[in-house]
């Protein structure tokens, strides 16, 4: 059985700024503890990057001090997308990369996660070793062994050049009119340049971070502003990134949202045309059944992981798959980069448009999305609702009704007393009715055992 972690979750350590453990004293100790573990192979360097939250300054300084106290040199990247930090950790031959970000969360949250020297999530044993060091008293190395800090002034340029290299040599975006929404986040000074340097005509929104407006009414989680901008400007398409740049949602020229499932489909079809698609694509339990059917029709299997890009990546590595992602827009192109990357994923879609000669609106038509309804049922306390006979019977009945034309999924929330009821099928009215039927059964069954 895996050892339970005290601090690290599935995506690092995250929470509200000022509430333990998202405090400066904890981050100081975390930097020292991580430095102690990472310095076991001798003196080395660690990169620190962040998004645009105002608290990033505070936590950057605290982590820098802790790492220095452990005897490691620090390379400060400033505001940079999460995938850029993964990439630069590899190319600068660092021991690790540290990301200060809460991704798509509001500015009052923040967090920290680490990349290994290979640009991957830290191994479980390394995270556990860091947690073990956190329980020890903090002691600085001798003055002559303290780590030094320096800024990497050319970090944005290095990453921009890498992104441009992920589409075929000689391909450009001349003649394309794009709107790019950077969510007032870490891509604000990077993403517009990537697309414009490839020849596209770029209009940018969400590129004025003030420390407080990250993800506010913009970006991949709220693409309504992008939809309006695309329609108002007559652009070919829109690209919405989230606060740390690892999530992508697109908007086609008709103003229709193109979610992660549809992005996956477009990239998969492009890879297939190039004979560069592995034998399976990885999605999650929430991935739309329409994507599974569209892929199956072309001879490609969809493998489903638990919800979370960490689980998608694990299944991709197990199955040696080069393409995977989530409906929310985390897209992993492992034949291009080691982690989810919104800019790189967008470039793969643009390359598909360029090579096919079709619009994004036309390319997504090969996949028909099933209506998917999600109903949350709040519980008085955490309990295993899925084991109740009445609930199991209701699920079986709905599954029999849908047969091969739909899916049912019940998930217990890991953070609050909720049951998430998801029903997917061909007819929205039927799906809504069946989802509510299961939700009502859950409420009645819980009342009986309360």
The residue from 55, 103, 278, 328 that is catalytic is 103
CB count in 10 Å sphere of residue 361: 16
Q: If you write DSSP's letter for every residue of 24-47 in order, what string do you get?
A: HHHHHHHHHHHHHHHGGGSS-EEE
How far is 207 from 146, CA to CA, in rounded Å? 37
| Spatial contact of 70 and 28, defined as CB atoms under 8 Å apart | no
- Here the tokens at position 72 are 């490691």
Nearest in space to 332 (alpha carbons), one of 418, 263, 423, 238: 263
Instruction: Tell me the C-alpha to C-alpha distance, in Å, between residue 340 and each of 60, 95, 434.
Output: 23, 20, 34
Integer Cα distance of 284 and 300 in angstroms:
16
Q: Is 103 a catalytic residue?
A: yes
DSSP 333: E
d(CA 440, CA 415): 22
34: its two tokens: 């991580």
Q: Which stretches within 239-308 are classed as H helix?
A: 260-273, 289-297
Q: Residues 356, 270: contact at Cβ < 8 Å?
A: yes
Cβ atoms of 360 and 237 within 8 Å: the answer is yes
Count of Cβ atoms closer than 10 Å to residue 161 Cβ: 12
Q: How far from each other are the two terminal CA atoms of the chain, in whole angstroms?
A: 31
Residues designated as active site: 103
């Amino acid at each position: 059985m895996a050892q339970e972690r005290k601090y690290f979750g599935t995506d690092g350590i995250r929470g509200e700024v000022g509430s333990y453990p998202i405090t400066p004293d904890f981050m100081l100790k975390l930097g020292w503890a991580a430095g102690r573990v990472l310095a076991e192979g001798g003196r080395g360097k660690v990169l620190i990057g962040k998004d645009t939250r105002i608290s990033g300054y505070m936590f950057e300084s605290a982590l820098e001090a802790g790492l220095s106290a452990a005897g490691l040199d620090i390379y400060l990247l400033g505001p940079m997308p999460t995938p850029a930090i993964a990439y630069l950790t590899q190319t600068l031959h660092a021991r690790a990369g540290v990301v200060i970000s809460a991704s798509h969360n509001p500015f009052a949250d923040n967090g920290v996660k680490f990349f290994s020297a290979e640009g991957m999530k830290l191994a479980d044993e390394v995270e556990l070793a860091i947690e073990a060091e956190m329980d020890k008293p903090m002691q600085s190395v001798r003055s002559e062994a303290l780590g030094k800090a320096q800024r990497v002034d050319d970090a944005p340029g290095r990453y921009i050049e890498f992104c441009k290299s992920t589409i075929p040599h000689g391909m450009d975006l001349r003649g394309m009119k794009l709107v790019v929404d950077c969510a007032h986040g870490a891509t604000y000074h990077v993403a517009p340049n990537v697309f414009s340097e490839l020849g596209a005509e770029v209009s940018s929104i969400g590129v004025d971070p003030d420390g407080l407006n990250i993800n506010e009414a913009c970006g991949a989680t709220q693409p309504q502003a992008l939809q309006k901008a695309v329609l108002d400007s007559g652009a070919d398409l829109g690209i919405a990134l989230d606060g740390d740049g690892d999530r992508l949602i697109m908007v086609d020229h008709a103003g229709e949202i193109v979610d992660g499932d549809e992005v996956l489909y477009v990239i998969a079809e492009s890879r297939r045309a190039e004979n560069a698609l592995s034998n399976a694509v990885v999605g999650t339990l929430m991935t739309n059944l329409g994507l599974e059917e569209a892929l199956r029709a072309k001879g490609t299997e969809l493998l489903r992981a638990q919800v979370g890009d960490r689980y998608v990546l694990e299944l991709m590595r197990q199955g040696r798959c080069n393409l995977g992602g989530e409906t929310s827009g985390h897209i992993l192109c492992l034949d291009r980069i080691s982690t989810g990357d919104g800019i790189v994923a967008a470039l793969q879609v643009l390359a598909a448009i360029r090579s096919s000669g079709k619009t994004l609106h036309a390319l997504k038509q090969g996949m028909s999305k099933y209506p998917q309804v999600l109903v949350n049922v709040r519980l008085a306390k955490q309990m295993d609702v899925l084991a109740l006979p009445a609930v199991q019977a209701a699920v079986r009945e709905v599954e029999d009704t849908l047969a091969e034309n739909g899916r049912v999924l019940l998930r217990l929330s890991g953070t609050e007393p909720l049951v998430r009821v998801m029903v997917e099928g061909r007819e929205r009215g039927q799906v809504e009715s069946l989802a509510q039927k299961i939700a009502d059964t859950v409420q009645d069954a819980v009342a009986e055992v309360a």
